[in-house]
Amino acid sequence: MNNLRLLRHLQRVRNGEGLRWMASQHKRRPQLGQLPPDRLEQLRSDLFERRQELACDEWLEVRRSLVDGHKHINAHNVDAVILGVCSGPRQLALAKNYVEFLRSQGSEPNAATLGRLLRVYNAAYQERPLSATEHAEILKICETLQANHETLDAISCEHLIHGLVATNDDWQRALPLLEMMKVTSTPSVAAYSALAGKAFSSAEKPEHLELAWRLLEEMALSRKLPRCEVYLALFARIAKQPGKLPKQLRRLLQFLERHEILVSQRVAERLRDLAQQLPTPRILEAKVTQLGALGKCQACQQHLQPVAISDEQFRQLSECFLERVLIRRDVFQRSSPEEVARFKKYVERTAPYDCVIDGLNVAYSTGTKKSPQQLAKLVATVVRHFREQDKRVLVLGREHMRSWSKQAMHYVQNNASLFLTNNLSQDDPFLLYATLRSGQETDFFSRDLMRSHAFHLGPELKPIFRRWQQEHQFSLVTQTQSGQIIVKEPIRHRLCAHEVSGGTWHVPYCEAYTQHPSDSFEVPANWLCLKLSP
């Protein structure tokens, strides 16, 4: 579109006539003035993606139409908004053109705008190597931003990191910025991933490899999951040095196992492609597989490893949990010391149990808007489920449950040990205490994912706790119309990447990357069966 036509369009918007951006003779395009939510997207697809530069008048109009047309866009943030819209890998020239336009108007772009510009450099870098001139431009922007502020906020640091990783020789200057982010928050997934990916893909120096692994470990420990690009960068690196593949790939698989990380389908496919590209005899074979009954791999016919932990691991776990976590970290903080003492005595007297049930959690697990009678009946039905298997049951509950249906609560009392805490207490510390105290065979019944308890155990014991939890946790799926309950039983084989026998690994993957995967125990539908030579 020529400038005149564009301006005519923009003027029509201002005159309230509505505007057809880039209207062609054949297609009726939606009118800008009528589509506020899509307007930025429209600006991107109809104008920014088709141009390398705009004239001053055009930029002025774009700016003015955004400020006039959007409540949240004002003179202070409009420049960053424009560069945010103009952020595709092929829009670097246009983004730079906008910054030049600002300077030509005597206005120096603010930090947010320059930060956005760095992101556009990074987007371009994802598609092609940047030139030496572009590297120099990035460094100049970074220096300007750092010269103006001794300490940068986390968002600015993230922008700078993205700029610096797009350079060849200066990306390590991003490391202190990652540390700076830690002053106010945990560095973001984007910042960690950008740096770890760069460290994997940069020159063949061993220390860069170690740096990448250190960053991955650090981010996983704060439950930030590396983006797909990080793994792809590692694969690209090992594709160039197949000799190093077994060691690096094993390290990756152990990392995925330790942190229970599922890679995405994109990563799994790239790994399979990598295996196919290797010269024969192949040091890596990768097949897509599914699991049969009881966790049998359809490709190699081996069973996945049982999730059960060893006696020694159980001893460590219960010791740590009972002593360090429950007592020293004061997990029973919302209970009175007298109540905790009374509970411990009660457990000493009545344990061991086969199953410990979180009564309140069960009662409310099919909805909270039930009558006390229904709530009590549900607890009684779950107790009956275990009593019919001759199991010794402990039900934990709250004092107010006494006032629920007498008949159902009587059944509970006559068929299980029942311990009621004061209404303010938290239930899971009691639940975990009684379960672990009863020994390695004891199960528990609750839908709670026990995230914070797992977290407080620290990086070494957390995976052991999760395995124990997976092996022993029952929960209620639903109750049918006729009152029958459907119970979710524990899955007995492992659900994360692990080695079943010398060099054979099973690696689950999910459809797409997600920053916050669920901590629940579900069997992933997709797996890779890998054979890795020593």
Residue ranges in contact with Zn ion by CB under 5 A: 297, 299-300, 529
Q: How many residues does the chain have?
A: 534
In whole angstroms, how close is the CB of 467 to Zn ion at the nearest point? 20
Q: Give how far Cα 121 sits from Cα of 94, 285, 391, 428, 462, Å.
A: 11, 37, 64, 49, 40
In whole angstroms, how close is the CB of 533 to Zn ion at the nearest point? 15
In whole angstroms, how close is the CB of 265 to Zn ion at the nearest point? 18
In whole angstroms, how close is the CB of 239 to Zn ion at the nearest point? 23
Contacts (Cβ under 8 Å, ≥6 apart) of 117 = 83, 95, 96, 99, 109, 141
The residue assigned the tokens 């125990």 is 521
In whole angstroms, how close is the CB of 505 to Zn ion at the nearest point? 8
Q: Nearer Cβ to Zn ion, position 22 or 288? A: 288
Contact status, residue 196 vs residue 212, Cβ threshold 8 Å = yes
Which residues share a beta bridge with 264?
A: 510
Q: Nearer Cβ to Zn ion, position 350 or 526? A: 526
In whole angstroms, how close is the CB of 298 to Zn ion at the nearest point? 8
Contact status, residue 315 vs residue 451, Cβ threshold 8 Å = no
Q: Nearer Cβ to Zn ion, position 189 or 249? A: 249
Q: Nearer Cβ to Zn ion, position 269 or 354? A: 269
Both structure tokens of 522: 């579900």
Tell me how crowded residue 86 is: count the other CB atoms within 10 A of its CB: 26
Amino acid, res. 448: D
Contact status, residue 354 vs residue 441, Cβ threshold 8 Å = yes
CA distance 462 to 455: 6
Amino acid, res. 257: E
Q: Nearer Cβ to Zn ion, position 13 or 307? A: 307
Contact status, residue 378 vs residue 363, Cβ threshold 8 Å = yes
Q: Nearer Cβ to Zn ion, position 297 or 340? A: 297
In whole angstroms, how close is the CB of 50 to Zn ion at the nearest point? 50
Q: Nearer Cβ to Zn ion, position 271 or 299? A: 299
CA distance 320 to 312: 12
In whole angstroms, how close is the CB of 391 to Zn ion at the nearest point? 35
In whole angstroms, how close is the CB of 299 to Zn ion at the nearest point? 4
Instruction: Give 440-495 as a 3 state SS string.
Output: CCCEEECCCCCHHHHHHCHHHHHHHHHHHHHHHEEEEEEECCCCCEEEECCCCECC
Closest C-alpha among 201, 270, 191, 290 to residue 241? 201
Q: Nearer Cβ to Zn ion, position 7 or 300? A: 300
Q: Nearer Cβ to Zn ion, position 300 or 308? A: 300
What letter would DSSP give residue 55? Answer: -
In whole angstroms, how close is the CB of 371 to Zn ion at the nearest point? 50
Contacts (Cβ under 8 Å, ≥6 apart) of 347 = 394, 433, 434, 437
Q: Nearer Cβ to Zn ion, position 157 or 530? A: 530
